[in-house]
Structure 1
Amino acid sequence: MNTTKQELKDPPAPKPGMDQALEGVFSEFVFDHPLLNNGSVYPHLHATTSDWEQTTLQQAQPYLPLKQDPINVTLGVQPLTTLALPAFKTVSLDKHLKYKRGYIINTGGSIQALDFAPKTSSIDTQPMIHYLAIGGYKEANVLHSFETPRQGHQSCIQLWKCDLTTTPSTEERNPLLDLVLLHDFGDARDLKWCPYGAYEEESTTDEDSAIAKLGILAGCFDDGTVRCLVVPHPDALRSRLGIDAGNRDPIYLKINHARCVFALPNTSVSTLSWGGHKKLAIGYSTGNISIWNMEMALATDHETHARDQHQSVRFMQSNTPVHDAGVQSIVWHGIEDPVNFVSTGNDGKLNALDIRDPSTTINLAKTRVIQYDAIWAGYRNKIIFVDGDLNFKEFSPQDYKTFKSSNVISYVTGAFASVASSEQHSFLALSSLDGILKLINSCIIKVKGKPRQQKILYKLIYNEQGNVYRYVDGLKRQSLDETKAMSGANNLLDHNISINKVCWNHNSKTSAWVASGGSNGLCRLDFAGVGTQWD
C-alpha cells in the first residue's frame, strides 16, 4: 500500500493520546522495551581487579579539573536564593522550587559528554538508583577544536550516583560522586554506554578477580583513540574493597588498560555511537565514519591484540568518507541491531548511510551552518534536524528529495547545541548555546490555526559583574511564533552559558529524568514527568 502525503506528514502516535501531551512525560505513555527490561549481552565479561588500581585523593589531583572553585548559583522564583556551590557537590532544586524535582551538580570542568548507565530492569534491585557518567575538558569555559589530534594527558571520568525517586521526602537524596575513573588518554570528547543488557549486580563467575559490572562504557579521547571500559558496579566494588556502607567518599580508580582500543593512524576521533550491542560507529575529524565489530573485539578482550591500538584495524568492518569535514554526531535508527544511521558534520550536511552498502552515502540536507546533532528514534520513522534558519524540522526519509512531509516542530533562538530522544517515550530535549533547554513532544500533530507549543524547562543567565549564574524556572510554554519574534542576538552570547550536552535516562521507571550540562561545569538533572504514578 502506498503511503499518502498526510500519513508521511503526521504518522499515528505509537499510543493513543500521546500526541496530546505538552507539559511532560506521562507514565502511561512510556513504552515497554523488552531489551532494556530483560536483555542480556556479554555475560562472559566482568570487571576485574587487574583493570584498575585504587588511588588516594592526593594521587588523583593531577587528573581532576584544574580549577575546583565554587560556582555562584541563583535559584528559585520568589524569593531568589544565591549560593556558592563547591566543586563535586550538589544542590537540590526542590528546596528552592516548590513544584520542581531535580538537582544541580558542580563537576568542576567543561562538560562534553553525558550518559546514564542503562540497567536491566528484571534484575535491578534498586530501580530508582542510577549512575550518570560525565566527561569533558579539565578546564571550564575554554573552547577546543577536535580537528587535530592531541597527545594523551591526565584526565578523568566522573560517575555520579543519583537517587531519581520523585516522591517528596525529608531524607537527603542528593547525587553523590561515587567513582572517579582516572586515565592518561586525554579529555573525553564523547561517552556512550552499551545500550542494554550489560548490567550486573552479582558476578556469575568463580574467578577471584571478577567483579559485577555496571556496564560497558565506550569513550573517544584526545589521544585519537576509542577505548571500551568494563566499569565495576560501585556497590560490588565497595564490597570487594571492604569499604564500610556508610562511607560515601568517592573511590578513585586509575585505569591500567581498557578492554579494547580502536584507532586509525593520523586521525582525531570526534564522536561515537553504539549500533545495538554488536557494533560501534566512530566519527573522525576527517569526515570519515568507521564501523567496528564490538562483538569480536570484546570476545577476544583477554588477548593482547584487543588492547593494542596498532592491531585494532582487524576489528574494523568499514571506513567511509561520509562528510567533507569533521563528524559531529552519529544517530542509529533504533537500538535493536540497526543497519541505518544519519550523521551530521562541520560541512553542514545531514547524511544517511546503510552499513550493508557502506560505499553509498545519501545527502538528506545541507545548510550553511555546522550541523551538531540529529534524531532518528526507533519508535518513529522521522528524522529531525536543525536547518540554516534555526528551524527544528522533522521529515520522513521516504520523502527527503521533496520534503513535502517536513514539519517545523520547534525553533531555537541561539545556536543549536544538542538534542536527545528516548526509546521509552516521545519527548525530545533540545539545548542551545544561549542557555535554554526545551522539551518538545515529537508526536504532536499540527492543528490548523494553532501554533505548536514548546515547554521551556529552564533558562541559564550569567551576570558577569557578580560572577553569578541564574537558573530561570517557571517559564510558560512558548509558541513557535513567539520564539521566532525573539532577538537573534543570542547567537553572540558568551559560551559559558551554553548547554553542550543533553541526555535522557534509559529505563522506563526513570525515563522522565533528563540531564544537561555545559561549558561552565554545571550539570542539571530535571524530572520532566507529569502525574503521580512514577515511583
Structure 2
Amino acid sequence: MSSPVPSPSSTRPQKPTRGKKRKTCGFDSDNTTDDKDFIPDKPDDEEESDDEDHRDDMDLENDVKYTIPKDLRSRRISRGLVSKTVHIFSRRSQKTYRKRYWQRYSHLVNTFVWPFFCLSSFTQSNQIRYYGNASNGLSNSIMGPIWSCTETTKKFRDEYCNKWVFPEWIPSEKDWRCISNSNAEKYLPQEMVSPAFTCSREGIKEHAPLHRMKRFEGLPPDPKRWDMMFYTGGPVWAMDWCPTPDGAPANQYAAIYSHKDLDHQHRINKLYTEPGLIQIWNLGQLHPPSPPGLAYGIAQDKGFVWNLKWCPGGAWELPTTNRKAPHMPRLGLLAASSSDGHISIYSLPHPDAVLARGKPTATGEPIIYQVQAVITLKRGSFKANHDEKATQVLSMDWLPVKPHNILAAGFYDGTVVLWDLSSRSALQRVRDPDRSHTLFPYHCFMAHDNGARALSFCHASRDLMVTAGDDRMVKMWDLRRTWEPCQSFKRFLSTEAAWPLHWAGVFVSQESTYGTFGQHGLNYFDSGYLGFKPLFLVPRKGTMWSLSISDWLNTAVTSDSLGDVIMVLLPNLFNNPCYLKRSIDRRFDKAGEGTEEGSGSTGIGSAHTSLTYRETATKYYLHYHDMDMTTFKNVQNRAPWKHMQASEVKGGLDLDLMPLASINKIRMNPNLCAQSWVLSGGQAGLVRAHCLSAMNSSHINKMVQDSQAQFNAMFMQNTADSQGDASAVRHTTEKL
C-alpha cells in the first residue's frame, strides 16, 4: 500500500510573517466560535465519572500545592495567584473551579488565608486618600492604616479565636498550697530595696526627688500621665500580659519572672535547677489606673525562667463564675519554660477566689503558693526520655489562632519542638507516679546549627512560623514541610522575632555583636509573597533586647540595652517599602537620656570600673525621661524627638559599666480595652506601665464601647466606659 503523496502546498516552505500577531482567544468567552478552549458548564446535578474526577483532582492539586521557590512572586503571578485575573484554568469555568477548589483542597491553601484576608481590607484602604491631620497631631495618611488594622483585627479575632478552650484544666484547691514566710524566703529575689531613681516628665515642671522602693512595692500612678511603677526584686527577663475577652470589664494582670541575684550569670549550654518565683501582678482596669500590687507568687524548684506565655484566647472566665468546690474560677493558662529543659503549664485562678479559700497571712507580706502544673512538656518519648540530653529552652510561643492547641519551643541545640496540647494519645500523654501528667512532642525538626534564640507563629495561620538562631539565620517555615525552610536570611544575631497579623513578613530585633555601627536594630523581612526588599525601621547603637507589636494599633515598640523605648507606627507594608520616605517621622523616643549636674565621667576610663550591682547602685541612679504621649503635635521640635534623632548616629557605649539601665523585656497589651498600654522591665528590677494615649481615637473608642455593650448583653453585667491617658518611658544610669 503506497503512502499518500503530500500536496504541493504542504511541502512548500511557508513565508515567515513579520510584524503580525495572532489574535488571542478570549478565555472567558461564551461563544464557541471566538473561544477554541470553550467548555460549557455542566449542570450541578450532572455527575462526573471517576476517571475524570480523579484526573481533575490531580491536575488541581498540582497547581495549588504550596511550595515557595526563591522567586515566589514570579511563580505565583504565572499561576494567577497574585494577578488580578479572576480565573486560573482556561479549561474550567470560574464557578466550577471555585466549588471544587474549596470543597476538596481547602486544606492545601490554609497558608494563603492570612495574606488574602488582610489584602482585601488593605486593597480597599489603598483606594482611600487621607487628607489633613488627626486630633493627635499626626497625618491622617499615617493613621489610616492603623484604623484599617483595628477593624481587621476585630473581625479576625471574632472568627479565628476560640471563646473557651481546655475545659478540663480548671484550677483546684488541692493543687494550691500556701507556704509560710520562712519557707518562701528561699524563692524570693534577694534585693530588698530598689536602686535610687527619679523621673522627669515632658511638659510638667516639678521637683523630682530620688526614690527607693521595697521589694514587691508599687508607686501610685501619676495623676496627669497615669504611668505607674513597681519593684520586682531582680532583673526581669520574662513578662507577658494576661489575655481577656473583648469588652470584658476585667482587671489587667501580668506574669513576670525576676532572677534572684542581680550579679548572677548563667550559661545557656548548661541546665540549672534552683528555686525561683513567678510573680502575678494586678494592675487594675487601667481606666483610671489604680496602684499596682502583687496578687500572688508561684514558687517552683525547676530553675530560672526565660519565657512566659499565656494561652492567647479562651482561657479567661469571669471572677464571679460559680464553681463547685474544690474548683475555682480560672484567670488563664500560663506556660513557663524553666532552665531544667522543661515547660510547665499552670492553670491560674482569680486572686480573689484563691485568697478567699486560703490561709490569711501577715499584712504586707507576699502570698506565695506551691502549685502543681496541669501538664509538663518534655522532649523525647515515653520509652526514650531525653532528660540526660536536654538543653535550655530559649524561645517559646503559643498558637494564636483556634483551637490554640499547639505550643512550640526552640532549644539551645537548634531544635524546634511542637506539642499538641489536645492530644489524647497514650504514646504522647503519660501519667507519672506522682499523679502529674507529661506530654511528649508530636513533631521535632532541626531549625538552626545553634540555639533557636527566637520563635513566633504567624498570627493568622497555624502552619507558618519564623525562627531566628545563633547561626545568624532567620528562617520561615511551613510546619507541614519542615525538611527545608520556605525563606532564609543571614543577618546579625537576633534576640526576638514577631510575625504580626496584617503583614506578609516578620519583624526581627538584633544584637550589636556582629552588626555594623548604626546598621542594626529593627528589621522587616518580606516572606517572599510580595518579593519586597528588607526594610530597616529602627537603628540603634546598643543591643535591642525585646520587641512587641500590637495588631490593634499597627504599632511596634522596642527596648534596648541603653534604656531606650522606641515606638514605631508601621506603614502599609503591602506597598513597596522602597517608596517609604523619612521613616524617622514614624518613630518616637518615649524617653530621653539626661544627665544631672555633677555626673561626669567618673568610673569611665579609670583604673577600676564598677562591675557589680552594689558598686554601680552606690555611684549611679536611674533617671527616667518620659515623653508626653498625650499628643504628637509639633513633635519634631520637641526635645525627646531631637534626642532620638541624635542618639541614632552619635554617642558612646560603655561596655565595662554594668547595664543597670537596660530594658530587657517590653510587651504591648493584647486586649482591646487596654490596647494602648505598654509594660517594660529591665536589669534594675523596676517595671513600668505607661499608656500611649495619643493612639486612642474616636474610632477605637467606639469599637471598645460596642464590645463592652456586646459583652454586657451576654453576661448581664454593667461596666464603665474606658478612656486612656498617659505617657512614655526610657531611663539611663547617672552618677549619684
2-side partners of 1:188 and 1:346: how far apart?
Answer: 20
Matched, 1:157 2:281: no
- 1:435 Cα deviation from its structure 2 partner: 0.8
In structure 2, the CA distance between the partners of 1:484 and 1:466, relative to structure 1 (3 Å rule), is closer
Counterpart of 2:621 in structure 1 is: 468
Aligned runs of 1:96-245 on 2, under 5 Å? 98=224, 100-121=225-246, 124=248, 126-127=249-250, 129-150=251-272, 152-167=273-288, 173-201=290-318, 207-241=324-358
The AA in structure 1 aligned to 2:473 is K
2-side partners of 1:301 and 1:248: how far apart?
Answer: 44
SS in 1 for 2:222: helix
2-side partners of 1:323 and 1:488: how far apart?
Answer: 34
- 1:194 Cα deviation from its structure 2 partner: 0.5
SS in 2 for 1:421: strand
Decide which of 415, 418, 424 is 1:288's aligned counterpart: 415
SS in 2 for 1:273: strand
The AA in structure 1 aligned to 2:412 is S
Aligned runs of 1:35-114 on 2, under 5 Å? 39-77=163-201, 78=205, 79-92=207-220, 94=222, 98=224, 100-114=225-239
Counterpart of 2:463 in structure 1 is: 339
Counterpart of 2:705 in structure 1 is: none
Q: CA RMSD in A?
A: 3.7
Cα-to-partner distance string for 1:120-169 (whole Å, 9 max, x where unaligned): 236x3x33x1110001321125432322112x21111000000243448x
2-side partners of 1:191 and 1:476: how far apart?
Answer: 32
Task: Identify, as 1 or 2, the structure richer in strand.
Answer: 1
In 2, are the aligned partners of 1:283 and 1:290 still within 8 Å (CA)? Answer: yes
Matched, 1:502 2:502: no
- 1:59 Cα deviation from its structure 2 partner: 2.2
The AA in structure 2 aligned to 1:473 is D
1-side partners of 2:552 and 2:193: how far apart?
Answer: 37
In 1, are the aligned partners of 2:377 and 2:419 still within 8 Å (CA)? Answer: no
In 1, are the aligned partners of 2:428 and 2:442 still within 8 Å (CA)? Answer: no
In 1, are the aligned partners of 2:189 and 2:258 still within 8 Å (CA)? Answer: no
In structure 2, the CA distance between the partners of 1:386 and 1:113, relative to structure 1 (3 Å rule), is closer
Counterpart of 1:275 in structure 2 is: 399
SS in 1 for 2:422: helix
The AA in structure 1 aligned to 2:377 is V
Counterpart of 2:528 in structure 1 is: 398
Deviates more, 1:491-500 or 1:130-139: 491-500
In structure 2, the CA distance between the partners of 1:449 and 1:287, relative to structure 1 (3 Å rule), is closer
Counterpart of 1:425 in structure 2 is: 553
SS in 2 for 1:372: strand
Instruction: Figure out how many residues of one structure are paired with residues of the other and give that number.
Output: 514
1-side partners of 2:625 and 2:434: how far apart?
Answer: 47
Matched, 1:515 2:661: no
Task: Identify, as 1 or 2, the structure richer in helix.
Answer: 2
- 1:529 Cα deviation from its structure 2 partner: 2.7
2-side partners of 1:117 and 1:260: how far apart?
Answer: 20
2-side partners of 1:449 and 1:291: how far apart?
Answer: 41
TM-score by length of 2: 0.63
2-side partners of 1:293 and 1:520: how far apart?
Answer: 37
Which structure's relative contact order is higher, taking Cα pairs within 8 Å and 6+ residues apart? 1
In structure 2, the CA distance between the partners of 1:58 and 1:302, relative to structure 1 (3 Å rule), is farther
* Stretches of structure 2 lacking an aligned partner (at least 5 in a row): 1-79, 84-114, 131-138, 380-385, 600-615, 628-638, 702-721, 724-736
* Stretches of structure 1 lacking an aligned partner (at least 5 in a row): none
- 1:452 Cα deviation from its structure 2 partner: 2.6
In 2, are the aligned partners of 1:292 and 1:318 still within 8 Å (CA)? Answer: yes
In 1, are the aligned partners of 2:409 and 2:417 still within 8 Å (CA)? Answer: yes
- 1:309 Cα deviation from its structure 2 partner: 9.1
Cα-to-partner distance string for 1:389-431 (whole Å, 9 max, x where unaligned): 214222321169xx64322222122111110112322111111
Aligned runs of 1:409-488 on 2, under 5 Å? 409-443=537-571, 450-453=582-585, 454-459=587-592, 464=616, 466-474=619-627, 476-477=640-641, 482-487=646-651
- 1:20 Cα deviation from its structure 2 partner: 4.0
2-side partners of 1:197 and 1:469: how far apart?
Answer: 40
Aligned runs of 1:342-421 on 2, under 5 Å? 342-367=466-491, 369-386=492-509, 388=515, 389-398=519-528, 404-421=532-549
In structure 2, the CA distance between the partners of 1:72 and 1:520, relative to structure 1 (3 Å rule), is same
- 1:459 Cα deviation from its structure 2 partner: 4.6
1-side partners of 2:675 and 2:426: how far apart?
Answer: 31
In structure 2, the CA distance between the partners of 1:60 and 1:13, relative to structure 1 (3 Å rule), is farther
In structure 2, the CA distance between the partners of 1:261 and 1:331, relative to structure 1 (3 Å rule), is closer
- 1:36 Cα deviation from its structure 2 partner: 9.1
In 1, are the aligned partners of 2:243 and 2:316 still within 8 Å (CA)? Answer: yes
Deviates more, 1:256-265 or 1:520-529: 256-265
2-side partners of 1:214 and 1:38: how far apart?
Answer: 16
TM-score by length of 1: 0.85
